[in-house]
């Protein structure tokens, strides 16, 4: 499924995979909330009834679309976080990787804490 993340300064498109968590996210879109940041990661609350999947991981690629089960949040890393080793994208816990953005994920750096972000289906 193609998706779009929109915020005041820009937007990114990407593709959700076929995982159980990705399918649950697709069912609640469009969704909008205030952004939080942690190092070079943007995250925002989206309540999903899901569990940590068997292939969950803590270190992901920049531009990965992730779901942090314990935090009830979509997590969007684009670079190092405070616990990263080197330039890796290390999240606070293992996350379900549910998709990948197209293009340069560093565009996410323009999202400020508290800014409105919207996740929706893309044509």
pLDDT tens, residue by residue, 29-70: 999 999 999 999 999 999 999 999 999 999 999 999 999 999
Please report the pLDDT score of residue 77 as a whole number: 98
Burial class (CB in 10 A: 0-12, 13-18, 19+), 99: buried
- Per DSSP, helices labelled H in the chain are 20-28
Residue 75 pLDDT greater than 90, yes or no: yes
Please report the pLDDT score of residue 73 as a whole number: 98
Domains of the chain: 2-121 (2.40.100.20)
Q: How many of the other CB atoms lie within 10 Å of CB of 83?
A: 12
Residue 92 pLDDT greater than 80, yes or no: yes
Average pLDDT over every residue of 96-121: 97
Please report the pLDDT score of residue 123 as a whole number: 76
């Amino acid at each position: 499924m193609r998706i779009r993340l929109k915020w005041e300064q820009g937007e990114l498109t990407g593709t959700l995979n076929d995982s159980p968590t990705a399918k649950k996210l697709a069912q609640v879109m469009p969704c909008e909330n205030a952004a939080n940041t942690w190092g070079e990661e943007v995250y925002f609350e989206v309540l999903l009834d899901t569990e940590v999947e068997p292939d969950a991981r803590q270190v992901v690629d920049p531009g990965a679309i992730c779901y942090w089960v314990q935090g009830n949040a979509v997590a969007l890393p684009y670079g190092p976080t405070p616990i990263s080793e080197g330039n890796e994208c290390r999240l606070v816990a293992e996350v379900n990787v549910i998709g990948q953005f197209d293009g340069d994920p560093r565009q996410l750096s323009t999202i400020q804490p508290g800014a409105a972000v919207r996740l929706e289906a893309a044509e």
